[in-house]
Amino acid sequence: MPSTPMEVDAAVVLLGASVTAITHPLLYVKLLIQVGHEPLPPAVGTTMLGRPVLYLPGFFSYAQYILKVDGKLGLFRGLSPRIVSSTISTVVRGKIKRRELQSKEDEHQNSFGKVVQETSHEMIIQCLTKVATHPFHVMSVRCMAQFVGRETKYSGVFSCIMTIFKEEGLSGFYTGFVPHVLGEVLFLWCCNLLAYFINTSAVDDTFSQTSTIRSYTKFVMGISLSVLTYPFTVVADVMAVNNCGLAAGLPPRFPVFKSWLRCWNHLSTEGQLFRGSRIFFRRVPVTRPPSVSD
């Protein structure tokens, strides 16, 4: 008996929640690195050429430190808001994919105009999805960032909602929203347009495996472009904790930023826009002394 769309959605949501839970420790460590928390001293290592270099702790060393401080459950701080956010995104994206497949059943080619139209539609849906999910992202980030100052201000989803609404109002749920969405939109347009131009210009239609190559083009473009748009993620996460009462977002760790552009400028000046982009073989960055003002 074939599965119904509702059963398929439930299975996809369950799979998405499972993947979110499994990968959460990885994103937890990445978030702590993004906000500049380095509780362990660097270790002396060598490059491939044999030159000595200082390496900051990688994922496994960092995760072991969290285990030592908070136990096994400590690796899953902020998981519940992430699961809510993941569920909303999975349901919306699933419905979009089914609609796209239905609309493409009789199509064999994609014109440039069609790509622009589909990307515009996808951008609108993605922005609306971010409006719904970003508050949970803020909750998750703040729950994780509490590790820095050992606070207990944010705990469960409902507790986070009450705390943020009481102290900051509705705007508190959307701190860091603009850079987060800008990064997603820039990634979406660049990925789709570059994939289109490569598929129509660089891939030879006479090649026997053209369809297979084209199916992987967007995937490869996504990996490459995610590096370029990563600074938007760092700025969004730093802004999510900035001036919210947690040590991770207050002086002397960070100035109180009046806008995300000032946060971007501060991190750029410090050479920290790509902080957390790698979690292995992290060299100690060479930075100038911190500025007095933002």
Select from 77, 62, 214, 88 the least CA-distant residue to 141: 77
**pLDDT score for 103:** 56
Q: What is the mean pLDDT of the segment spanning 261-287?
A: 87
Show me where the domains of the chain are located.
5-103+110-283
pLDDT at position 279 over 90: no
* Cβ-proximal residues to 251 (8 Å cutoff; 6+ apart), any chain: none
pLDDT bracket for residue 215 (50, 70, 90): low
Ramachandran assignment for 271, one of left (phi > 0), alpha (psi -120 to 50 degrees), beta (any other): left
Coil, strand, or helix at residue 259?
Answer: coil
pLDDT bracket for residue 5 (50, 70, 90): low
* CB hemisphere CA count around 120 (13 angstroms): 6
Q: What is the mean pLDDT of the segment spanning 108-129?
A: 84
Q: What DSSP string describes 167-213?
A: HH-GGGGGTTHHHHHHHHHHHHHHHHHHHHHIIIIIS-TTSTTHHHH
pLDDT at position 209 over 60: no
Compute the chain's Rg from CA coordinates: 21
Which tokens sit at 40? 């362990």
Q: Which helix (H) or strand (E) holds 162?
A: helix 157-168
Instruction: Let me know if 141 is exposed, middle or buried by CB neighbors in 10 A (0-12, 13-18, 19+).
Output: buried
pLDDT at position 44 over 70: yes
Select from 55, 54, 74, 78 the least CA-distant residue to 65: 74
247 vs 225, more confident: 247
Percent of residues in the chain assigned helix, strand, coil, to nearest 5: 65, 5, 30
* CATH superfamily membership of 5-103+110-283: Mitochondrial carrier domain (1.50.40.10)
Percent of the chain with pLDDT over 90: 52
Instruction: Let me know if 146 is exposed, middle or buried by CB neighbors in 10 A (0-12, 13-18, 19+).
Output: buried
Distance CA 197, CA 178 (A): 28
Which tokens sit at 83? 């699961």
pTM of the model: 0.85
